[in-house]
Amino acid sequence: MSQPLRVALAGLGTVGGGVVKLLDANRALIERRAGRPIAIVAVSARDRTRDRGVDLGRFDWVDDATTLAMRDDVDVVVELVGGSDGPALTLARDTLGAGKAFVTANKAMIAHHGLELAETAEKRGVALKYEAAVAGGIPVIKGLREGMAANEISHVFGILNGTCNYILSEMEEKGSDFADVLAEAQRLGYAESDPSFDIDGVDAAHKLTILSSLAFGTAVDFASVAITGIRHVIAADIAEAAALGFRVRLLGHGEASEKGLFQRVHPCLVPLSHPLAHVSGSLNAVVAHGNFVGRLFFQGRGAGEGPTASAVVADLIDIARGETGPAFAMPVAALAHPAIASADDRRGRAYLRFTVADRPGVLAEITAAMRDAGVSIESLIQRGVASDGNVLIAIVTHISPERAVQAALDRLEGSQSLTGKPMLMHILDE
C-alpha cells in the first residue's frame, strides 16, 4: 500500500472537529480518490479535557501547536486555530520553512500574510492551500485557480459573509431592525459575541482580497479595499428596496481595468432579476466573468462544520496526489502590483435614503442638490410622517458618476432639513 499522508491538526473547534469526523466517515472513498490513506497523527487545541464528540485518544496530543511543524512523523500541518497573527502565523511560517505542506481555513492570515507564506512555499517546493478560507464549502479557490486559469477575468464579486447575509435576509423576511436581528443571531449562535469583523465588512474584505489576487493575477492587497458594513442599514431601506425591485446584500466587489484594481465591500441593492438577489440566509455565492468562459456563478454553504471540513479535506487530497502548484495561481514574483482605481471614476445607479423633517420645501432642497450635482432621479418614494415625526425619502438615481452622487450628498451636509445621516448604497447592474 502507498505511504499515508501524515497530518497534524492544530485547532479542534467547529472546523477541526469536522475534519476529524469527515476523515472518519469517508475514509475508504478518500483513500481511493487520493491514491493513499490520509491519516491524522497528532492534534492540538487549548483544552485537552474538552469533549469534542470525536475519539481523539488515537492521536498524539500536543499542548503547544507551534511544535507540530517540527515533527518528523508529519507531512502536512492543518491550521484551524484562526487569527491573522499569533500561533497560526508562527505555525504557518515554521511548517512551510521546514519544507512541509500547509493547509488553512484562515482568511485573515492569508489576506495579511499570504504572499510571504506563498513565497516560502515556492522556495521549499511545498503546497500552501486555503480552499476553506473563502466561501467555506464552495470550491471557488479551485474554480478561479484551476477551472478559470485560462481566462482573463474582469470582475469577481459576491456574497462572502454568511452572518451578514443571514441578518439582511431576516430583516427582509421579518421587517425587523438590524439590532434586533443581530441579537437574535447571537442568541442562536449564527453571529459571534463580538460580531464586528462580520458586520463591519472586514471578514468579507479578507476574502475579497484573496479572490481578487487569484482572479486578476495581482498581489493580495487588503489595505486598498474600501469597506462599509451593514450596521447602518435600517428596516425601511430593505422595505423601500423591495418596493423598487431590489434586495439588499453585502457584496465584495473586485474589478481589474486599465484604471487599476478596484476592491470594495459594501451593502448593495441587487435587482430581483440577478441570481445574487436569491442567495438568502447564511449561503454564500461568487460570480466571476472570464473572457472565454463567460459568467460563472458559484453558490453554497460558506461556513459550518461540514462544508468547511469538506474544503479542508479536498486540499489534503490534492496534497496526497502531489499537487504543489503556486498558491496564488502564479509565482509570487509574477503577480502584478497595479494602481488603485478610484471610486470617483465609477458610474452606476445609486440608492439614497433621507430622513427629513416634515415641512414644506425639504423635497425641493434634496432634488435641487441632486440637480446641481448633475444627478438625475429614476424613481422616488416619499413615506408619510412616522411616529417620531420624520419623513422618509428613498431615491434611485439614473446611471451617474459616483463622484456626482457624493457631491449631491456633500451639498446637503449640515442641512437643517435632514434629521439623520443619509444612506447611500450602490446598485448592482452587471
Ligand X SMILES: NC(=O)c1ccc[n+]([C@@H]2O[C@H](COP(=O)([O-])OP(=O)(O)OC[C@H]3O[C@@H](n4cnc5c(N)ncnc54)[C@H](OP(=O)(O)O)[C@@H]3O)[C@@H](O)[C@H]2O)c1
The binding site for ligand X (CB under 6 A) comprises: 10-16, 44-47, 50, 65, 80-82, 87, 105-107, 132, 136, 303-304, 308
Comparing CA positions, the residue from 387, 145, 412, 173 lying closest to residue 281 is: 173
106 in Cβ contact with 83 (< 8 Å): yes
* Cβ-based neighbours of 67, under 8 Å, separated by 6 or more: none
Comparing CA positions, the residue from 48, 301, 267, 29 lying closest to residue 167 is: 267
Q: How far is the CB of 111 from ligand X (least distance, A)?
A: 11
Q: How far is the CB of 60 from ligand X (least distance, A)?
A: 14
Q: How far is the CB of 306 from ligand X (least distance, A)?
A: 9
Comparing CA positions, the residue from 306, 107, 322 lying closest to residue 211 is: 107
Could you give the dihedral angle defined by the CA atoms of residues 209, 186, 248 and 228, in that order, rounded to the nearest 10 degrees? -40
Give 290 or 307: the residue with its C-beta nearer to ligand X. 307
DSSP states along 255-318? EEETTEEEEEEEEEEEETTSGGGG--TTEEEEEEEETTTEEEEEEEE-SSHHHHHHHHHHHHHH
Angle between helices 402-412 and 362-373 (to 10 degrees): 140
Give 162 or 229: the residue with its C-beta nearer to ligand X. 162
Residue owning grid cell 440637480: 371
Give 11 or 139: the residue with its C-beta nearer to ligand X. 11
Concerning whether 129 is annotated as a catalytic residue, the answer is: no
Give 62 or 276: the residue with its C-beta nearer to ligand X. 62
Q: How far is the CB of 413 from ligand X (least distance, A)?
A: 38
Rounded Cα gap, residues 246 and 239, in angstroms: 9
- Catalytic entry in 100, 207, 259, 421: 207
- In single-letter form, the type of residue at position 376 comes to S
Q: How far is the CB of 282 from ligand X (least distance, A)?
A: 9
Rounded Cα gap, residues 186 and 182, in angstroms: 6
Q: Which residue is nearest to ligand X (CB)?
A: 13
Q: How far is the CB of 257 from ligand X (least distance, A)?
A: 30
Residue owning grid cell 479535506: 313
166 in Cβ contact with 185 (< 8 Å): yes
Rounded Cα gap, residues 17 and 80, in angstroms: 10
At 234, list the grid cell.
435600517
Q: How far is the CB of 86 from ligand X (least distance, A)?
A: 7
Give 109 or 405: the residue with its C-beta nearer to ligand X. 109
Q: How far is the CB of 81 from ligand X (least distance, A)?
A: 4
Give 77 or 425: the residue with its C-beta nearer to ligand X. 77
Give 44 or 169: the residue with its C-beta nearer to ligand X. 44
* Cβ-based neighbours of 86, under 8 Å, separated by 6 or more: none
Looking at the chain, the number of H-run helices and the number of E-run strands are 13, 18
Q: Which H/E stretch holds residue 383?
A: strand 377-383
Could you list the active site residues?
A: 207
